[in-house]
Amino acid sequence: MDRRKFLKGSALLSGLFTISPLELWSSKRNTEQLHSGSAKNIIFMVSDGMSLGTLSMADLYSRNILGKGSNWLNLYHDQKVSRALMDTASASSIVTDSAAASSAFGGGIRVKNGVLNMGANGEKHLPIWQKFKKAGKKAGCVTTVTITHATPAGFCVNSAQRNAEPQIAEMYAELELDVLMGGGDEFFNPEKREDKKDLYAVYRKKGYQVLKERNHLKDIKKGEKIIGVFSTGALPYSIDRTSLPDFKNTPTLAEMAKTAIDQMKDHPGGFVLQVEGGKVDWSAHANDVAALIHDQLAFDEAVKTVMDFAEKDGNTLVIITTDHGNANPGTIYGTDATKKFNSISDYKYTNEYILNQIHKDFSVKDIKDWIYEGNQLALNDDEAKHLLSFYNGLEKEEGLYNYKKLPFKLYSDIQKNRNSVGWISMDHSGDYVEVAVYGPGSQLLKPFIKNTDLHDLMLKASPL
């Protein structure tokens, strides 16, 4: 027998038995306190439109290509969170849109698709961030789409139309939310608004610091309310932000989340914050696998940022979920499935960027050369000709957020033969989704819930 190992083991056992029962009980009590009691802060994280396949593929890509598990799945491996499946239905359909889904979280009731916290007879249900704001907490939202989009708006305002984004921008100013960051310059800029109102001036008059670039995050004055609007429309996809110089001065979701937390964390009354990875949904609508995986991984980095704070703080409830599935992507069985899936790491750009660079004057060879440069995919002549037919007006494709009628579906079908990823549609799905909850109040989570239950959980975890 190795005497050194025996002595080492004896020392460890001896140390264990010198711990008093009081110390053991105290350690257990500290662990229990983390998951019970009242939460001073709440951070609600939404990877918009994230089917379970999206979560799975992002973790698979992270392990295979980046050499580490995803932060979200690591929370499961390390048993740090309570976990549930959630029914995402709205009042009008088993398949919700983001407005009704966010209203379930924000207003605590199921409403019809397309509206924000408005009942069937026009009754208004007070959104949860307003409730907490009135109770003395600071409140904020950060997102990778327009800050006035349905998911942040569902925690903040009442509106009969989710698309009333110019008006929602004005509502935010009246509410004086403490942190707002995302895209949507067209809803604040007088040169882009139809009514020519200068909402930036309105916000400045109310004491807001206005941020327009990533660099501005370094110059924030402590304690001031902030509004950061970093693009017209949504922020760029994460993979394009990494690859294209024009987007380098756009902040990541993790950077915005950290900024928001740092700005509000010292408030005596605590804070509430929504963090949305909005372009996960948009990439699923486009069946764009590179955009999807990289934006999900960007959301995953925000998960790390939030959890780093919450674990150190000890008084923060963290909810990590999605509002609904979208397109249900997944890996497909077949020869060399792993190798094919891993080839996604060769993709330099989103499909949106690649397809936007093609025009009707391209030859078949031009298309083949460009696709190979962007995705390392070798197209045959028939595939290149089929793509070109969309630019010559012979075919066209519809789809949400497909403003230029680009051939997203055709191109994703071409990619599927090379990367072993398939999709069931280009729209939302009614499948049950993942929920992970950490911190004070996490013990309230039941194994199967409705989306409205998360509204109730927040109010129970942090009573008004």
Write out pLDDT tens, residues 169-210. Answer: 999 999 999 999 999 999 999 999 999 999 999 999 999 999
What's the average model confidence in pLDDT over 94-122?
Answer: 97
Distance CA 430, CA 433 (A): 9
What secondary structure does DSSP assign to 248-316, as a single string? TTSPPHHHHHHHHHHHHTT-TT-EEEEEEETHHHHHHHTT-HHHHHHHHHHHHHHHHHHHHHHHHHSSE
pLDDT of residue 398: 61
pLDDT surpassing 50 at residue 66: yes
% pLDDT > 90, the chain: 87
Residue 218 is given by DSSP the state G
Tokens 């760029």 belong to which residue? 236
Measured CA to CA, the distance from residue 111 to residue 96 in angstroms comes to 10
Question: In terms of pTM, does the model score above 0.85?
Answer: yes
Looking at residue 5, what is its pLDDT? Answer: 40
Domains of the chain from N-terminus onward: 38-329+427-461 (3.40.720.10), 331-422 (no CATH)
The tokens for 325 are 């599935």
